[in-house]
Structures are given as C-alpha cells and as structure tokens.
C-alpha cells in the first residue's frame, strides 16, 4: 500500500511498482488506516507529508506490527526521527524505490515463513507427544507436517540469502551514492 496525500506522486510510485506487485493507494492517513482495518499488506510505503496529523500514523496500526508488515518512509529529511523499517529519500528514482520495496517484500515473506515454521514445529511436537503416549505407529499427519517443515526451512534459507543479497546491493550503492543519484534525478 502506498500512503500519499500528493495524488500525482502516489500514483507515480504505484505505476513504478504495479508491474511487479499488487498496489493500493491511500490518499490520506485516515484512508490508510481504514484499509489496514480490512486487510494486511506486506509493505506500507508512507510519504512523510501524510504524517502531519500526529494523531494518525499507519506505523502504529495494530496490524502493521502484528502481521510482519514492513514500513517504508519516503521523506526529504534523512535525519528524521520517525521509526520505519526502511527509508527512501525523496526525490527518488524508480530503481531505488523498487529496490527498497523488493527488500521489504523479501523481509515480509521471511517473517511470515518464520511464523508458519514456529506453528508447524509446535503442531509436530504436539502430534509426536500424542503418538508417543498412545504407542501407535507414526501417523501420516506427522509425516505431512514434517515434510512441510523441511520445505519451509529450505524456503526460509533461500529467503534469507535473497534478503542478504538485497542488503549487500543497497550497501554497495551506499547512502551517499543513492542520495547523489536522487539529487541528479531531481535536477533533470
């Protein structure tokens, strides 16, 4: 979800991202909160200008923290004290914005997989305890859960490698290089 009260900018960001991700645009902080009440998002991209009403912050919505939603703040001030999972300096380029959203999406996917893994491991332990106490042969349900745990563990390892590679790429570009590229784009 993109939260921005500058209609043209929010829709420009949506255009940059919509070929890869399903994008919703909320024109105000209040509209964002209404959407967050109805569903969860992997990433909430917030233009800092929408946070002028201190009583309204998508960063503090219960579903954002509880569901592993990644928050990204778009701002002109790199020294902001608003907490977000990641930041994009405005003005920005398409590739910089996409890179940050790509990384945030990978982290959200990783977080969701970890939560599912914990649930499956807990379920397997409960099934094994039941199996041991009854003295019966291992059930197909235990085998199915164990198989899902193995597949999910492999996916988590892949997701972690992906996120590490994304961060390495961002570090290689460095904040000064990104800011210089953003400044250059703004002067064109």
What's the pLDDT tens digit per position in 131-167?
776 666 678 889 999 999 999 999 999 988 888 887 7
Q: Looking at the structure, do residues 65 and 18 belong to the same domain, yes or no? A: yes
Give the end of a domain, one of 89, 104, 136.
Answer: 89
Q: Which of 12, 183, 1, 168 is nearest to 94 (CA)?
A: 12
Q: Categorize the per-residue pLDDT at 27 as very low, low, confident or very high, splitting at 50, 70 and 90.
A: confident
pTM to 2 decimals?
A: 0.74
Q: Are residues 21 and 83 in the same domain?
A: yes
HEC sequence for 52-102: HCCCCCHHHCHHHHHCCCEEEEEECCCCCCCCCCEEEECCCCHHHHHHHHH
CB 14 within 8 A of CB 4: no
Residues 78 and 102 in one domain: no
Calculate mean pLDDT across residues 165-175.
67
Looking at the 3D structure of the chain, how many domains does it have?
2
Tokens standing for residue 152:
């999910």
**% of the chain with per-residue pLDDT over 70:** 80
Domain end call among 67, 89, 111 = 89
Asked if 147 and 77 sit in the same domain, the reply is: no
User: What pLDDT, on the 0 to 100 scale, is given for residue 123?
Assistant: 94
Q: Identify the weakest region by mean pLDDT among 39-43, 82-86, 112-116, 124-128.
A: 82-86
Q: Calculate mean pLDDT across residues 63-82.
A: 77
Supply the range of the domain harboring residue 138.
Answer: 94-187
Domain final residue pick, 45, 73, 89: 89
Q: What is the pLDDT of residue 64?
A: 63
pLDDT tens digits, residue range 73-84? Answer: 888 887 777 778
């Amino acid at each position: 979800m993109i939260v921005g009260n500058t209609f043209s900018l929010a829709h420009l960001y949506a255009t940059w991202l919509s070929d890869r991700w399903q994008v919703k645009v909320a024109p105000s902080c209040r509209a964002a909160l209404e959407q967050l009440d109805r569903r969860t998002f992997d990433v909430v991209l917030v233009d800092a200008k929408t946070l002028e009403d201190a009583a309204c912050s998508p960063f503090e919505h219960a579903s954002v923290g509880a569901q592993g939603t990644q928050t990204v703040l778009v701002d002109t001030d790199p020294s902001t004290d608003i907490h977000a999972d990641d930041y994009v300096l405005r003005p920005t380029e398409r590739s910089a914005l996409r890179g940050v959203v790509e990384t945030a999406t990978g982290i959200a996917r990783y977080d969701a997989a970890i939560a599912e893994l914990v649930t499956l491991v807990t379920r397997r332990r409960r099934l094994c305890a039941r199996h041991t106490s009854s003295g019966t042969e291992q059930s197909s349900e235990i085998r199915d859960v164990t198989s899902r745990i193995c597949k999910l563990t492999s996916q988590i390892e892949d997701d972690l490698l992906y996120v590490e590679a994304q961060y390495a790429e961002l570090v290689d570009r460095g904040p000064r290089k990104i800011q210089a590229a953003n400044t250059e784009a703004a002067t064109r």
